[in-house]
Amino acid sequence: MRAWSRSDDLWKRRSAILCQNTFKADTDLGFLFACIEPSLGSKEFFLNKAIGWALRSYAWTDARPIVRYVEAHRARLAPLTIREALKNVR
């Protein structure tokens, strides 16, 4: 998945970002953030949506690290990503 997160193939990158979406408390946040990192700053709708979705999925379990992550990376996150990530937090 780490290799996929850096792939030129958009769909592999998206799959790497979303691969833990159903893991809830078993999500490896370090791994999730590592899979997101190569796509930060992307203009690609499907990647930005996937990042927001992945962050929001974990926020249902614990919103605090997601809020911290969004604040720390706000300048590199698309507005769509921020909106999706924090949709159910505030």
Over the Cα atoms of the chain, what is R_g?
12
- CA-to-CA distance for 90 and 22, rounded, in angstroms? 22
Q: What's the first-to-final CA gap in the chain, in angstroms? A: 31
Q: Using the predicted structure, report yes or no on whether residue 89 has a pLDDT greater than 80.
A: yes
pLDDT digits (tens, 9 = 90+) for 47-67: 999 999 999 999 999 999 999
Do 83 and 52 form a contact (C-beta atoms < 8 A)? yes
Every domain of the chain and the residues it spans:
2-85
Q: Using the predicted structure, report yes or no on whether residue 13 has a pLDDT greater than 90.
A: yes
For residue 78, give both structure tokens.
Answer: 């698309």
Q: Using the predicted structure, report yes or no on whether residue 37 has a pLDDT greater than 90.
A: yes
Place of tokens 């193939």: 9
Q: Which CATH superfamily, name and number, covers 2-85?
A: ARM repeat domains (1.25.40.290)
pLDDT in the model for residue 15? 98
pLDDT in the model for residue 29? 98
